[in-house]
Structure 1
Amino acid sequence: MSKKFYITTPIYYVNGAPHLGHAYTSTAADVLARWHRLEGEDVFFLTGTDEHGQKVESAARAAGIAPQEFADRVSADFEDMAKAMNISNDEFIRTTAPHHKEACQAIWKKLEENGFIYLGAYEGWYAVRDEAFYDESETALKPDGTRYAVASGAAVEWVVEPSYFFRLSAFQDKLLEYYERNPGFIAPSAKRNEILSFVRGGLNDLSISRTSFSWGIPVPGDEKHVMYVWLDALVNYITAVGYPDVTAPRWGYWPASLHLVGKEIIRFHSVYWPAFLMGAGLPLPEKIFSHGWWTVEGAKMSKSLGNFIDVRPLVQEFGLDQIRYFILREVPFGNDGDFSRRSLVGRINSDLANGIGNLAQRTLSFIGKNAGGAVPPKGTLQEVDEALMVLANALPEKMRAALHKIAFHEALEEAWRVIRAADTYIDAQAPWSLRKTDTARMNTVLYTLCEVLRVLGVVLQAFMPDTMGKLLDYLALGEERSLVVLGAPLVEGTSLPAPAGLFPRVVEAA
Structure 2
Amino acid sequence: MSIRTFMCLRKYSSETKTSKFFTTPIYYVNANPHIGHLYSSIIADAAQRWQRLYQKGADVKFSTGTDEHGSKIQRAANKNDTSPLEYCNRISSQFQRLANEFDVDYTDFIRTTCNEHKKTVELFWKAIENRGHFYLSGYEGWYSVQDETFLSNSQLKQKQENDGTESYISAESGHPVEWTTEQNYMFKLSNFRNDLEYWINRNEKVIRPKKFQRILLDLLNQEDGLHDLSVSRPTSRVQWGIPVPGDPSQTVYVWLDALVNYLTVSGYGRDETTFQKYWPPEVHVIGKDILKFHGIYWPAFLMAANLEPPKSLFCHSHWTVDSEKMSKSKGNVVCPFERATTYTTDGLRYFLLREGVAHSDGNYSDTKILRILNSELADTLGNLLNRCCSPTLNPRQTFPAIESSAFDNVSSLEVTKKLIESVTQLPEICRIHYDDLNFYKVADAVMETLHAANLFFESLKPWVLAKSPETQKDLDVVLHVTLETLRATGILLQPLVPNISKNLLDKINVEEGRRYFTDLGSFSWTRNDFIGIPLREQRDVLFRRILLEDETKKAKKL
**Above 0.5 in TM-score?**
yes
Letter in 1 for 2:183: P
In structure 2, the partner of 1:10 is 25
In structure 1, the partner of 2:546 is 506
Question: Are positions 1:465 and 2:498 aligned together?
Answer: yes
Question: Are positions 1:138 and 2:155 aligned together?
Answer: yes
Deviation at 1:487, TM superposition (A): 4.4
In structure 2, the partner of 1:95 is 112
In structure 2, the partner of 1:232 is 257
User: What is the distance in 2 between the residues matched to 1:447 and 1:369?
Assistant: 12
2:388 and 2:394 in contact (8 A); partners too: no
Tell me the secondary structure at the aligned position of residue 241 of structure 2.
Answer: coil
Deviation at 1:33, TM superposition (A): 1.2
Deviation at 1:493, TM superposition (A): 2.4
Question: Are positions 1:482 and 2:516 aligned together?
Answer: yes
User: What is the distance in 2 between the residues matched to 1:2 and 1:269?
Assistant: 22
In structure 2, the partner of 1:378 is 402
In structure 2, the partner of 1:158 is 179
In structure 1, the partner of 2:11 is none
In structure 2, the partner of 1:451 is 484
User: What is the distance in 1 between the residues matched to 2:169 and 2:294?
Assistant: 23
User: What is the distance in 2 between the residues matched to 1:314 and 1:33?
Assistant: 25
1:255 and 1:285 in contact (8 A); partners too: yes
Question: Are positions 1:209 and 2:248 aligned together?
Answer: no
User: What is the distance in 2 between the residues matched to 1:136 and 1:232?
Assistant: 25
How has the CA–CA distance of structure 1 residues 2 and 458 changed in structure 2, closer, same or farther, with 3 Å as cutoff? farther
How has the CA–CA distance of structure 1 residues 465 and 2 changed in structure 2, closer, same or farther, with 3 Å as cutoff? farther
User: What is the distance in 2 between the residues matched to 1:370 and 1:9?
Assistant: 44
User: What is the distance in 1 between the residues matched to 2:417 and 2:17?
Assistant: 33
Question: Are positions 1:65 and 2:82 aligned together?
Answer: yes
Deviation at 1:140, TM superposition (A): 2.4
1:360-399 equivalence runs, <5 A = 360-365=385-390, 369-380=393-404, 381=407, 382-384=411-413, 385=416, 387-399=418-430
Question: Are positions 1:33 and 2:72 aligned together?
Answer: no
1:125 and 1:134 in contact (8 A); partners too: yes
1:333 and 1:408 in contact (8 A); partners too: no
More deviation, 269-278/429-438: 429-438
User: What is the distance in 2 between the residues matched to 1:248 and 1:75?
Assistant: 29
Deviation at 1:2, TM superposition (A): 8.1
1:241 and 1:248 in contact (8 A); partners too: no
Deviation at 1:482, TM superposition (A): 2.1
Tell me the secondary structure at the aligned position of residue 154 of structure 1.
Answer: coil
How has the CA–CA distance of structure 1 residues 163 and 347 changed in structure 2, closer, same or farther, with 3 Å as cutoff? same
Letter in 2 for 1:497: R
Deviation at 1:489, TM superposition (A): 5.5
Deviation at 1:141, TM superposition (A): 2.9
In structure 2, the partner of 1:343 is 368
User: What is the distance in 1 between the residues matched to 2:412 and 2:21?
Assistant: 43
Deviation at 1:444, TM superposition (A): 1.1
Equivalent of residue 330 in structure 1, options 345, 352, 355: 355
In structure 2, the partner of 1:174 is 195
More deviation, 396-405/418-427: 396-405
User: What is the distance in 2 between the residues matched to 1:210 and 1:34?
Assistant: 39
Letter in 1 for 2:83: A
* Aligned pairs, number: 509
In structure 1, the partner of 2:434 is 403
What are the superposed Cα offsets for residues 344-399 of structure 1, whole Å, 9 maximum, x if unpaired? 10001111111111111111215x65441112122222234455233213222211
How has the CA–CA distance of structure 1 residues 2 and 485 changed in structure 2, closer, same or farther, with 3 Å as cutoff? farther
Deviation at 1:486, TM superposition (A): 2.9
Equivalent of residue 497 in structure 1, options 503, 514, 536: 536
What are the superposed Cα offsets for residues 457-478 of structure 1, whole Å, 9 maximum, x if unpaired? 1111111111111111110111
Letter in 1 for 2:99: A
User: What is the distance in 2 between the residues matched to 1:296 and 1:181?
Assistant: 36
Q: What are structure 1's unaligned runs of at least 5 residues?
A: none
Tell me the secondary structure at the aligned position of residue 269 of structure 1.
Answer: helix
Letter in 2 for 1:440: K
Deviation at 1:133, TM superposition (A): 1.4
Tell me the secondary structure at the aligned position of residue 335 of structure 1.
Answer: coil
User: What is the distance in 1 between the residues matched to 2:271 and 2:185?
Assistant: 26
More deviation, 489-498/258-267: 489-498
2:139 and 2:181 in contact (8 A); partners too: yes
Tell me the secondary structure at the aligned position of residue 51 of structure 2.
Answer: helix
User: What is the distance in 2 between the residues matched to 1:198 and 1:353?
Assistant: 46
Letter in 1 for 2:495: A
More deviation, 223-232/139-148: 139-148
In structure 2, the partner of 1:197 is 218
What are the superposed Cα offsets for residues 434-485 of structure 1, whole Å, 9 maximum, x if unpaired? 2224111111111111111111111111111111111111101112122233
1:374 and 1:492 in contact (8 A); partners too: no
Deviation at 1:404, TM superposition (A): 1.2
User: What is the distance in 2 between the residues matched to 1:118 and 1:497?
Assistant: 67
1:393 and 1:455 in contact (8 A); partners too: no
How has the CA–CA distance of structure 1 residues 458 and 183 changed in structure 2, closer, same or farther, with 3 Å as cutoff? closer
User: What is the distance in 1 between the residues matched to 2:476 and 2:204?
Assistant: 52
User: What is the distance in 2 between the residues matched to 1:449 and 1:492?
Assistant: 16
Tell me the secondary structure at the aligned position of residue 201 of structure 2.
Answer: helix
Tell me the secondary structure at the aligned position of residue 9 of structure 1.
Answer: strand
Letter in 2 for 1:504: R
1:402 and 1:408 in contact (8 A); partners too: yes
User: What is the distance in 1 between the residues matched to 2:204 and 2:508?
Assistant: 44
Tell me the secondary structure at the aligned position of residue 135 of structure 2.
Answer: strand
Deviation at 1:249, TM superposition (A): 2.3
Letter in 2 for 1:206: L
Q: TM-score, normalised by structure 2?
A: 0.88
Letter in 1 for 2:218: S
User: What is the distance in 2 between the residues matched to 1:386 and 1:4?
Assistant: 40
2:418 and 2:452 in contact (8 A); partners too: no
Tell me the secondary structure at the aligned position of residue 398 of structure 1.
Answer: helix
The CA RMSD over aligned residues, in Å, is: 1.7
In structure 2, the partner of 1:258 is 283
% same residue: 38
Tell me the secondary structure at the aligned position of residue 86 of structure 1.
Answer: coil
Equivalent of residue 207 in structure 2, options 175, 182, 186: 186
Tell me the secondary structure at the aligned position of residue 10 of structure 1.
Answer: strand
User: What is the distance in 1 between the residues matched to 2:520 and 2:412?
Assistant: 21
In structure 1, the partner of 2:448 is 417
What are the superposed Cα offsets for residues 278-333 of structure 1, whole Å, 9 maximum, x if unpaired? 10000111111110111111111111111111101111122111111001111323
1:361 and 1:500 in contact (8 A); partners too: no
User: What is the distance in 2 between the residues matched to 1:457 and 1:189?
Assistant: 31
